[in-house]
Amino acid sequence: MDQALPGWKDKVLFTPGPLTTSRSVKQAMLRDLGSRDFAFIELVRDIRRRLVALGGCRDGAYEAVLMQGSGTFSVEAVFSSTVRPDGKVLVIVNGAYGERMVKILKTLRIDHAPLVFAEDQIPDLEAVERALTDAGRVSCVAVVHCETTTGIINPIKEIGAMAKAAGATFFVDAMSSFGAVPLDLAACSIDYLVSSANKCIEGVPGFGFVLARRDALLQTEGYARSVSLDLLSQWRGLEVNGQFRFTPPTHALLAFHQALLELEAEGGVEGRAARYRANYETLVDGMRALGFDEYLPAVDQGYIITSFRYPQDPAFSFESFYASLNDKGYVIYPGKVSNADCFRIGNIGRIFESDVRDLLRAIRETIDELGIELSAPTRAGARSVSR
């Protein structure tokens, strides 16, 4: 079928990104703008202004720097251009995205100390405190806010206060939470926060962004270990003439601006949080009723994405489960937890409770078709999805 036909419906993405976007976000890309066009420069300026406001930064202390590439490029930009040459990074890890930070630091040959916790565990704050003393001269503390591996939400405010007390800069990867989980950068002592266009703000992929405390950023002169990912130079370029140093993702920026307007129309971060939370609650109620178990205890579980354990039944194969749901028009995501077999279902993107109920119906049909026996001993009895 021709995917450009008006009746075409894309599959619904229950993933950690790229996500389902609104038609109007996609339509915003039907323009060609030159990178020096006044309209484009104004668009970039407005995006940067709105991003700073979304971070709850009202006192002019923070700057938004847009960076080409996927979100990881922006994480790499922060490490490669803000850690001083003799600096050391304490990385708090409880999932694959924390591990990725370690990999970046290793590759950049930046001195670092990983503090690793189990994937189903909130970082122990006393251990963080101890590590800050034991690791010696830590100049930067880095942590993921919503660890998308499991959906766990890490205590960034407490960790930020410790980093600040230790005189270290504080870097938060808020890729999968920014825009949908209320967050005040200054109150969390954040110096650098990273997120990207195609997660909770519901734009299309193509760039990430860094919210940087200006005073911290200005001290990083000469630190950059990369030309294309040089954060300070990128910021200066945007400040001086409103332009990117190298080809900007014009269409992705047009889409993102529209996505920001739609976020505001939905009631900002609070409004989006309410929709995602409703998606999450509908999903988890329905999955429990079907007999699935979540990987995380509910108290630690954010509403962004949920990891579910594979059913015990040996007849279950993720590949067939995934393929059958995919055929029905629903895309879920493989697990990333290292010590348990899980799959993930995201609650983010332009999806609503009705989409989640449709997914639940498709999951029930699929387990019936595949002849999977589901038994959640702790929650036995319930096998019907509420409609």
Ligand X SMILES: *Cc1c(COP(=O)(O)O)cnc(C)c1O
Between residue 12 and residue 51, which ones bind ligand X under the rule CB under 6 A?
16-17
End-to-end CA distance of the chain: 31
Pick the piece of the chain touching ligand X (CB under 6 A) from 68-76, 121-129, 249-257, 289-297.
68-76
* Minimum CB distance to ligand X, residue 256 (Å): 14
Residue among 72, 80, 258, 347 that touches ligand X (CB under 6 A):
72
Under the binding rule (CB under 6 A), the answer on residue 148 touching ligand X is yes
Residue among 14, 40, 97, 171 that touches ligand X (CB under 6 A):
97
* Minimum CB distance to ligand X, residue 161 (Å): 21
Taking the least distance from each CB to ligand X, the nearer of 89 and 290 is 89
Token pair for 223: 């630190």
Under the binding rule (CB under 6 A), the answer on residue 71 touching ligand X is yes
Rounded Cα distance, 156 and 144, in Å: 8
Taking the least distance from each CB to ligand X, the nearer of 173 and 191 is 173
Rounded Cα distance, 83 and 169, in Å: 9
Rounded Cα distance, 47 and 51, in Å: 6
Nearest to 362 by CA among 333, 322, 334: 322
Between residue 328 and residue 387, which ones bind ligand X under the rule CB under 6 A?
none
Residue recorded with tokens 């200066």: 236
User: Is the separation of the CB atoms in 170 and 191 below 8 Å?
Assistant: yes
Pick the piece of the chain touching ligand X (CB under 6 A) from 103-111, 170-178, 181-189, 360-368.
170-178
Under the binding rule (CB under 6 A), the answer on residue 123 touching ligand X is no
Helix or strand run (H / E) with residue 250: helix 250-265
- Residue of minimal Cβ distance to ligand X: 71
Under the binding rule (CB under 6 A), the answer on residue 202 touching ligand X is no
**Secondary structure (3-state) at 210:** strand
Taking the least distance from each CB to ligand X, the nearer of 70 and 189 is 70
Under the binding rule (CB under 6 A), the answer on residue 175 touching ligand X is yes
Helix or strand run (H / E) with residue 274: helix 268-290
Q: Rounded to the nearest 5°, which phi and psi values hold at 258?
A: -60, -40
Under the binding rule (CB under 6 A), the answer on residue 144 touching ligand X is yes
Pick the piece of the chain touching ligand X (CB under 6 A) from 54-62, 67-75, 104-112, 123-131.
67-75
User: Is the separation of the CB atoms in 332 and 322 below 8 Å?
Assistant: yes
* Minimum CB distance to ligand X, residue 100 (Å): 7
Under the binding rule (CB under 6 A), the answer on residue 303 touching ligand X is no
| 3-state class percentages of the chain: helix first, strand second, coil last, to nearest 5 | 40, 15, 45
Rounded Cα distance, 236 and 327, in Å: 48
Residue 240 corresponds to which amino acid? V
Taking the least distance from each CB to ligand X, the nearer of 176 and 282 is 176
Under the binding rule (CB under 6 A), the answer on residue 306 touching ligand X is no
Q: Which positions touch ligand X (CB under 6 A)?
A: 16-17, 70-72, 97, 144, 148, 173, 175-176, 196
